Amino acid sequence: MLGTVWMGWALQFVCWVMLGKALFPAAMKFMSAHGLTDRNYRGESIPTSGGLMIWLLLVCQALWYKLAAAFGLTEAAMGTGAASLAEKLPVSLAGAASMVALAGFIDDTVGHKAYKGFAGHFRLWKERRVISTGAVKAGATGIAALWIIVPEGGGSGAGPAVLGLALQWLLIGLTTNAINLLDTRPGRALKGFALIAAVLLAVMAASANKEGFGGGIIPSLLPVIAACAVLAQPDLKGELMLGDTGSNLLGFLLGAWIALCFGWKLQAAAVLLLAGLHAVTWRLSLSKLIERNRFLQWVDWLGRDTAGKI
C-alpha cells in the first residue's frame, strides 16, 4: 500500500517537473521583458522574483485538485486513500502562499532597498511616515500563517489552543524570515530549504507519522520541490534570483509543514533554534560567518559557478 502511494507521488513529481520546465523559459522572458531585474552581489543585472515559478505550480496544483474534486476524480488526482484534508489543504495552502508570494513580489519590485531589517523599516516610518514593503511582507505572512493554522473545528480549550496557535504563528514567521536571510548568494536559499526538508522527511518517516503522510502535506509540497529542482541550476549559476517572492514563500511553506505535521516539542525546539539564528545575524553577517567555516563554505559553493568566486 505504502509502495503504491510512493509511486503515485513520484509520478506526480515528474509531472510537476515537466510542467515547470515547460513554463520556465516563458517566465524568464516575461521577467526580462518587463524589467523585473535586479543587481546581484556581483553587480550583474539578472531576473528577480524567480520564486514566481514556485507560486505558479502551487496554484496549478490547487486548480487541478479543485477540478478533480468537482468531477469526482480525487483518487485519480491525489492517489489511493486521499483524505478529506488532502482535498482541502492544497487549496488553502495555495491561497495563503499567494498572499506571501504577492507581498514578496511587491518588495522585490518596488521595495526600498536602502531600508533593511526591523531597524530599517522603523527608520523609514520615522523619517518619511511611509510603511515599508518589508512591513507589508511581515503583516501578510502573519495573516497567511493564521489562515493555515487556525483549525476549522475548534481547539482543545481556550488556553491550550491560544498557546499552540501563538507557538505555530511565531514558528512560521521565524522560518519565513530565516530562509530570506539565506537568499544573499546563488543557491543558498534552495540549499537551506532542501536540507531542512530532508531532515523533516527523515523525522516523519522514522516516527511513522501517518497524519503527515496521509494528511495532504507531502502531495501539496510536490510542486514546490519540483519548482526548486527546475530553479536550482539557473539559481546556482547566478542567472536569476529567487527574490523575496521565492525565499519568503519557501520559508513560509517549511514553517507551515512543521506546524501542521509535528508536535509542540519539535515546534518549540525549532523556534528556539530560529530565534538563536536571528539573534546572531542581528549583529553579524551570515555570509561572513559561512566564510569563516570551511565546511559551510564548501556547502555554500557546492554546485555554484566557481569562475566568479571571490
What's the full length of the chain, in residues?
310
How far is the C-alpha of 148 from the C-alpha of 169, rounded, in Å? 9
Gap between the Cα atoms of 11 and 16, Å rounded: 9
What angle do the packed helices 243-261 and 217-236 form, to 10 degrees? 150
Alpha-carbon radius of gyration of the chain: 19
Q: What is the pLDDT of residue 88?
A: 58
pLDDT digits (tens, 9 = 90+) for 254-291: 999 999 888 889 999 999 999 999 998 888 888 888 98
DSSP state of 139: H
User: pLDDT > 70: what percent of the chain?
Assistant: 77
Q: What is the distance, to the nearest Å, from the Cα of residue 180 to the centroid of all Cα atoms in its chain?
A: 9
What is the Cα–Cα distance from 137 to 143, expressed in whole angstroms? 10
Retrieve residue 148's grid coordinates: 493555515
Q: Looking at residue 308, what is its pLDDT? A: 44
Q: How far apart are CA 264 and CA 271, in angstroms?
A: 10
Cell output for 19: 510542467
CA dist 115 → 31, 121, 178, 251, 264 (Å):
24, 6, 18, 21, 35
CB 140 within 8 A of CB 177: no
Q: What secondary structure letter does DSSP report for 55?
A: H
- pLDDT tens per residue across span 108-155: 888 666 556 555 555 655 566 667 777 888 899 999 999 988 876 555
Of 171, 163, 111, 99, which Cα lies nearest the Cα of 135? 111
C-alpha cell at 299: 556547502
Output the pLDDT for position 83: 46
Torsional sign, CA 200, 206, 209, 210: positive
Whole-angstrom CA distances from 4 to 7, 186, 191, 198, 207 are 5, 37, 29, 21, 20
pLDDT one-digit tens code per residue, 62-111: 888 888 777 776 655 555 444 444 455 667 888 999 999 999 999 888 86
Q: CA triplet 65, 67, 73: central angle to 5 degrees? A: 75
CB 268 within 8 A of CB 75: no
Q: Half-sphere exposure of residue 291, counting CA atoms within 13 Å on the CB side?
A: 8
> Are 158 and 144 contacting, i.e. CB atoms less than 8 angstroms apart?
no
pLDDT of residue 200 exceeding 90, the answer is no
- Rounded CA separation 150/2 (Å): 30
Q: What is the percentage of the chain residues whose pLDDT exceeds 90?
A: 37
Q: Please give the single-letter amino acid code of residue 109.
A: T
Residue 34 DSSP class = T
Question: Per-residue pLDDT averaged across 160-182, rounded?
Answer: 91
Beta strand pairing status for 37-39 and 45-47? antiparallel
Give the per-residue pLDDT at 124: 58
Q: What is the DSSP letter of 156?
A: S
**pLDDT the model gives residue 204:** 77
CA atoms within 13 A on the CB side of 297: 9
